[in-house]
A and B are shown apart, each in its own frame.
Chain A
């Protein structure tokens, strides 16, 4: 009775398809869910005979609608986006702090050189001299507070790097164990689609943290490595990343895989880990060095010029600033105990009203100074140029970020267009497979009637 068997196979196939559709509809909002469908195949006739149409329909497997290439694109986009997005908050904060004109070193320098200028009206006047001391103190404070902001940023970068590395370790461990589960599940004939979705989502999260190379293995597992080739996950084994603190306060990365451990360059890693390194190397460190250079040059040159002059009482000039490169809180300060009359504005110990040395001090503003990130610039223009450079860095990052976001959105859309559920499509599938089920049931009913007719003949 091929009719009954065929009808049954059709009804079972329709049930499987309806099952798949119901699973799809249930997961219409599940992030990362890959839709499935019943793969239908006609069964060739099992008995000989020219009039044998076939032995019904079979569902050899559930079809997983996925495109590995689209997943890869999505992960690459996640790395680029992660790298740029993690840097932007740092850049924005720097811009706000350094770019704020009222609180910047620029206004501090204006006030300091303004006070020196004002003192030239009456170089022996105590209030005018005192104003120079006050302005010098305020300028030193501005240097210190900016230096502290930069130090805090570096501490934040270091903390985030440690947290990122922890995140990477968690995710690689999860991917490795999913790799093992998927291999076992496949071997025991269970549909691994849900596990694959979970693993792909872990890989997506991992790609946001660091750029990956993904290689599919025949057993269904996926091997991951860093862009520079170091292995992260091979089958069911995960590598372990660690952050090492160096004696000079900087950080390096170390990777341990199967009892082998080695240090590697953090440059060009991609993702948040690469972004942090990029920001630290390209923006933060040069900026810190420039601010330190500036404070040092200000202190050294002012003190050297003052040493050439004489105070109001004819005593040789004393230094105004004290510079300490190792201190993050008090990098620059006015020498303790210095009073207004100690400022050496005169070129002659006998002439307290002379302002020759004061005029030389005023000239310091238009002298060139060598900075780590800019080369040689004029003293009074240095901070302006630093802010300009920072603005350009931030602008470039924002433009890159917008592009990366668009690329990621498109990659997601493209992934969804293959793997995402469309509820209307599922509605049609439900209707069609319901009809298929009903029609096959009708076939069985007809077969039953035919059988009844045959039996009735024998009565």
Chain B
């Protein structure tokens, strides 16, 4: 084919531009370490990467939730633990009071201790968070868990005013875990202990009186039932903690494999990039040398 003189210059020009564009792209990728600068570098890859990022964001949130939930459960567990210890102490008092060797004064002294324990349990059951919301009222968190009506007779003073509604926390895709616990049994228990304290505190009370003993036995059974219920709730926290830990580990594993996948899809292969960079540089240099040689050739020089 006949070649026009300016064709050499045009060819050189476009070769230079192509090489410069390739070098620029490769160097940008090397600088960022990313295989895809824009979605069009690999549309499918970028969609996969974006989906991994979405899943990562969700997993991060679930793991954050699990962390917050576990802290909340530990707080609840500590409070319930305190309540259960008070209940045990009350039980000890009841057992002691049921011992027929006690004098009337001994038993009345026990009544004072019993009242302190009842108050302790009452206040612990009405625990509130920093924003003043009741922890054990179910979903009626603005309402006190247990209220006391001093005008009512002993045994009916305490009423549970919360509910047993559950607060669900999202801890996985479609997985919700209950975050709260309601102390719905605590009012009955408090009423029985209150009544027992009232009975024991009566002037001249006879601990060997059948009626008094009957009261004590009822209170003892009530404490045992309440204690079993609270202990079951504490045990439930342990189980929940285990489930959460398993979930957290699962999330961590999925997250790790996502990160691996994201690296596989998105990260630049530096070896490959370096080889390409060398190739482009060599091609550019060769073109430049060829141009230098060719542009020297002119028939006018030898005329």
Contact of A387 among B46, B65, B131, B141 (CB under 8 A): B46
- The answer to whether B38 touches A424, judged by C-beta atoms less than 8 angstroms apart, is no
Q: How far is the CA of A295 from the CA of B42 in the complex (A)?
A: 27
- Interface residue stretch chosen among A152-160, A321-329, A354-362: A354-362
- Give the total number of A-B pairs whose CB atoms are below 8 A apart: 180
How would residues 48 to 78 of chain B score, 1 for a CB under 8 Å from any chain A CB and 0 otherwise? 0011011001101110110011001000000
- The answer to whether A121 touches B4, judged by C-beta atoms less than 8 angstroms apart, is no
Contact of A362 among B3, B138, B170 (CB under 8 A): B170
- The answer to whether A351 touches B163, judged by C-beta atoms less than 8 angstroms apart, is yes
How would residues 307 to 340 of chain A score, 1 for a CB under 8 Å from any chain B CB and 0 otherwise? 0000000000000000000000000000000000
- The answer to whether B53 touches A106, judged by C-beta atoms less than 8 angstroms apart, is yes
- With A110-B58, A362-B170 already in contact, the answer to whether A392 and B72 are too (CB < 8 A) is no
Residue A96 at the B interface, CB < 8 A?
A: yes
- The answer to whether B64 touches A123, judged by C-beta atoms less than 8 angstroms apart, is no
- The answer to whether B62 touches A409, judged by C-beta atoms less than 8 angstroms apart, is no
Contact of B6 among A28, A96, A352, A359 (CB under 8 A): A28
- The answer to whether B43 touches A392, judged by C-beta atoms less than 8 angstroms apart, is yes
CB neighbours (8 Å) of A389 from chain B are 43
Residue A45 at the B interface, CB < 8 A?
A: no
- The answer to whether A118 touches B141, judged by C-beta atoms less than 8 angstroms apart, is no
Q: Which of A376-427 contact B (CB under 8 A)?
A: 380-381, 383-385, 387-395, 398, 409, 412-413, 416-424, 427
Q: How large is the interface on A (under 10, 10 to 19, 20 to 34, 35 or more residues)?
A: 35 or more
CB neighbours (8 Å) of A124 from chain B are 131, 133, 141-142
Shortest CB-to-CB span from B125 to chain A, Å, is 16
CB neighbours (8 Å) of A95 from chain B are 38-40
Shortest CB-to-CB span from B295 to chain A, Å, is 11
How would residues 128 to 151 of chain B score, 1 for a CB under 8 Å from any chain A CB and 0 otherwise? 010101000111111000000000
CB neighbours (8 Å) of B60 from chain A are 114
Name the CB-closest residue of B to A393: B40
Contact of B38 among A92, A421, A428 (CB under 8 A): A92
Shortest CB-to-CB span from A199 to chain B, Å, is 20
Shortest CB-to-CB span from A330 to chain B, Å, is 26
Residue A86 at the B interface, CB < 8 A?
A: no
- With A359-B176, A416-B7 already in contact, the answer to whether A353 and B43 are too (CB < 8 A) is no
Interface centre among B41, B43, B46, B180 (most CB of A within 10 A): B43
16 A-B residue pairs with CB within 8 Å: A28-B5, A91-B40, A95-B38, A101-B53, A106-B50, A107-B57, A124-B142, A348-B139, A351-B165, A353-B141, A355-B168, A359-B168, A391-B38, A394-B39, A420-B7, A422-B2
